[in-house]
Amino acid sequence: MKVILVNGSPRAAGCTYTGLTIIKEQLSQNGVDSEIYQVGNKPVAGCIACLSCKKTGKCVFDNDLVNTVAEELRKAEGIVLGSAVHFASATGAATSFFDRLFYSVGFDTIKMKFGASIVSCRRGGASATFDQLNKYFTIAQMPIVSSCYWNQIHGYTPEDVYKDEEGVHTLRVLANNMAYLIKCKAAANIPLPEEPPRVRTNFIR
């Protein structure tokens, strides 16, 4: 059982990373493996809408971790998207990375895998960013794992994060809930729900 943790912050060992580390430790206590991918500390190309991924199943840009994380996500039970809050939104790198990841991965390959988002801010914009990140799951038939509060931590340094005791508690509960749901799904061991033929109300042929 494995969960992919993605750090979309530019700071490889900053607050978002600290939050993901708290989740990693708590998952481990529940017997669930996880791995943190650092993706936000270099320029990340945005989606250029070339639609190449619809033919190849891979993003056309193979010079960052998008295709690696996609491959790992297909094998994993869940994913946690992490981002610092920049101007009340996810970071530019996180947005570019997650757009390309979710557009290229193939929704049928990640259906019913569990998703969660965490955001780190100094003061404001956490809810808007949290909502933004959760949109990736709700278009992909991925159940969102929740906690006892919205998954936000506050601070400017990793030390600040530990002072946000309610934030730390929220992330620990989130990890416990993620592990619980992964085990429930494994125990149920039933086929994924069938989907009626797709209908698209737009102009894509």
Ligand X SMILES: Cc1cc2nc3c(=O)[nH]c(=O)nc-3n(C[C@H](O)[C@H](O)[C@H](O)COP(=O)(O)O)c2cc1C
What are the backbone angles phi and psi of residue 199, rounded to the nearest 5°? -125, 135
Q: How far apart are CA 62 and CA 47, in angstroms?
A: 12
Interface segment toward ligand X; rule CB under 6 A; list 9-17, 65-73, 103-111, 131-139: 9-17
Interface segment toward ligand X; rule CB under 6 A; list 31-39, 67-75, 80-88, 100-108: 80-88
* SS3 state of residue 16: helix
Which amino acid belongs to residue 75? K
**Under the criterion CB under 6 A, does residue 104 sit at the interface with ligand X?**
no
**Under the criterion CB under 6 A, does residue 125 sit at the interface with ligand X?**
yes
**Under the criterion CB under 6 A, does residue 169 sit at the interface with ligand X?**
no
Q: Which is nearer to ligand X, 38 or 104 (CB)?
A: 38
**Under the criterion CB under 6 A, does residue 38 sit at the interface with ligand X?**
no
**Under the criterion CB under 6 A, does residue 15 sit at the interface with ligand X?**
yes
CA 60-62-67 angle, 5° bins: 90
HSE at residue 36, side-chain half, CA atoms within 13 A, is 21
Judged by CB under 6 A, the residue of 4, 85, 140, 179 near ligand X is 85
Judged by CB under 6 A, the residue of 46, 56, 68, 87 near ligand X is 87
CA 136-138-142 angle, 5° bins: 90
